[in-house]
């Protein structure tokens, strides 16, 4: 490629977390190869519900060269070791989907098969005993050290995170244009996007465009009309009401997800406040009832009045069309049950680095990008549906309908494998690990008729001794860890605001 060839101009349409994730990724990894402009208006607010992340967030920060302590101080972040699900299997039930590895297994079978054999032999305890992150989360403990390899993510303030990424990106040459764009101009002969038309009448031309315009999808849908795959027949949640409260009590290193009458409520603890919200289906509960349910179950004083959001679960039929990639809410929406929203932003931005069309946009490149994105979206979709489908709750029409609803064939296949064989697998584009599926299935009481007999290759005494040693190692390690909030105070305490 000619070194003197002009740099392609990338125009990112919209800011917020998605826009500045794209800007940070492209500017950190492709310096001097792209001319990057981000267009956003201070008058347009951000949705700001994605305040919990998953461990891939750390990999993204390594990619862009972000310092962990600086990021955490700037965003009031806390550490996250998993999600505690309450009332999902049955009323009164509780389990944690933790980020860590469960036990140690031979190559032929995953650890839960050994544990199931142990249970059949009359010992083995709880599966939770063999996951360090889970027991640390329960105990409210956390630490980072060279000798400890906890798998963790973050709780963060999404608005502050966008500000943090903006500063990071502007240092690397990203130019920000303030203002609203009101139209999208297309090339008459190719149908490619030519420019954004600002409210002032100014045009922002570009070679490649990243649609970060949120739910309005101004480029990928309104201008290019790619269409939308509606998944509301599987995931009927269509609204949320969110509010911030003052921090109270101990800062737990996990998110809470509490199943309610027709949906669920989140609680995300930050250093300076707590994020709360109620995701629900308006076919079963009114906005007023959803609001009252949220407010009645809050801990701490509300900082401002609750805010309502509307959405349609699904994804664009294509995330890449012509010279435009949709990133963030413009690409689709999956409810934040497993905190995957920011991960998808980061994943799409990272892939764009790998597949950027320096030789011009072409169908083969776009098709490959779209195929991978489709598989990733669908894999996460199935994991979220799992939580609803394997419930044993029958106390409301909403939960009874979840048990009898149709589910995707891909999820049917997974559940049949587990039901009859105890088998769980991780596909090439799957985000969630085998241990994640096992924790939800067991946590919500979905049983299996069989398991791999690998545990029988060991004498019962040997199996008992091996499992007991592993569980004791977990217990001792957790015992020595500092309290989560004490570690935060010494490592990344945010300044008073």
The catalytic residue positions are: 80
Structure tokens at 116: 């199931």
For 452-483, letters b (16+ CB in 10 Å) and e give bebbeebeeeebbebbeebbeebeebbeebeb
Distance between terminal CA atoms of the chain?
50
Rounded-to-integer distance, Cα 266 and Cα 438, Å: 22
Rounded-to-integer distance, Cα 294 and Cα 267, Å: 10
The torsion of the CA quartet 276, 280, 285, 290, rounded to 10 degrees, works out to: 10
> Is residue 279 within 8 Å of residue 240, measured between CB atoms?
yes
Sequence-ordered list of residues with C-beta below 8 angstroms from that of 257, at least 6 positions apart, any chain: 83, 84, 85, 86, 88, 264, 265, 266, 337
Helix, strand or coil, per DSSP, at residue 423 = coil
Structure tokens at 216: 């309005």
> Is residue 137 within 8 Å of residue 176, measured between CB atoms?
no
CA distances from 109 to 362, 438, 442 (A): 43, 13, 17
């Amino acid at each position: 490629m000619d070194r003197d060839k002009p740099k392609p101009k990338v125009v990112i349409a919209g800011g917020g977390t998605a826009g500045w994730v794209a800007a940070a990724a492209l500017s950190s990894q492709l310096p001097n190869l792209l001319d990057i402009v981000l267009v956003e208006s201070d008058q347009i607010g951000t949705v700001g519900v994605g305040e919990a992340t998953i461990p891939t967030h750390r990999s993204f920060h390594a990619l862009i060269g972000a310092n962990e302590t600086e990021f955490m101080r700037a965003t009031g972040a806390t550490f996250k070791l998993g999600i505690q699900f309450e009332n999902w299997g049955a009323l009164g039930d509780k389990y944690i989907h933790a980020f860590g590895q469960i036990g140690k297994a031979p190559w032929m079978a995953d650890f839960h098969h050994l544990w199931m054999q142990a249970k059949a032999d009359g010992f083995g305890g709880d599966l939770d005993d063999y996951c360090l992150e889970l027991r640390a989360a329960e105990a409210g403990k956390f630490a980072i050290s060279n000798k400890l390899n906890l798998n963790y993510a973050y709780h963060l303030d999404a608005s502050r995170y966008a500000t943090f990424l903006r500063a990071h990106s502007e240092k690397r040459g990203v130019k920000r244009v303030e203002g609203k764009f009101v139209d999208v101009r297309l090339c008459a002969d190719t149908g490619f996007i030519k420019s954004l038309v600002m409210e002032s009448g100014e045009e922002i031309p570009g070679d490649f465009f990243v649609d970060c315009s949120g739910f309005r999808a101004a480029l990928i849908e309104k201008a290019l009309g790619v269409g939308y795959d509606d998944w509301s027949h599987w995931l009927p949640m269509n609204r949320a009401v969110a509010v911030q409260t003052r921090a109270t009590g101990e800062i737990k290193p996990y998110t809470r997800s509490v199943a309610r009458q027709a949906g669920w409520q989140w609680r995300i603890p930050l250093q300076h406040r707590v994020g709360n919200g109620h995701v629900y289906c308006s076919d079963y509960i009114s906005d007023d009832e959803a609001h009252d349910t949220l407010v009645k179950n809050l801990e701490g004083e509300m900082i401002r009045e609750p805010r309502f959001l509307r959405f349609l679960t699904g994804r664009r039929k294509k995330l890449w069309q012509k010279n435009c990639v949709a990133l963030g809410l413009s690409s689709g929406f999956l409810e934040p049950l497993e905190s995957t929203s920011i991960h998808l932003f980061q994943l799409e931005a990272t892939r764009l680095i790998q597949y950027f069309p320096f030789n011009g946009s072409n169908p083969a490149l776009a098709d490959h990008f779209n195929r991978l994105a489709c598989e990733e979206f669908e894999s996460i979709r199935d994991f979220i549906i799992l939580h609803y489908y394997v419930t044993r709750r029958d106390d409301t029409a909403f939960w009874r309908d979840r048990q009898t609803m149709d589910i995707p064939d891909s999820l049917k296949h997974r559940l049949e494998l587990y039901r009859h064989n105890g088998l769980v697998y991780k596909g090439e584009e799957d985000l969630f690990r085998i241990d994640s599926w096992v924790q939800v299935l067991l946590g919500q009481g979905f049983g299996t008729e069989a398991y791999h007999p690998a545990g029988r290759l060991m004498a019962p005494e040997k199996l008992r001794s091996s499992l007991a040693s592993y569980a004791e190692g977990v217990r001792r390690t957790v015992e020595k860890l500092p309290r989560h909030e004490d570690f935060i105070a010494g490592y990344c305490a945010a300044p008073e605001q």
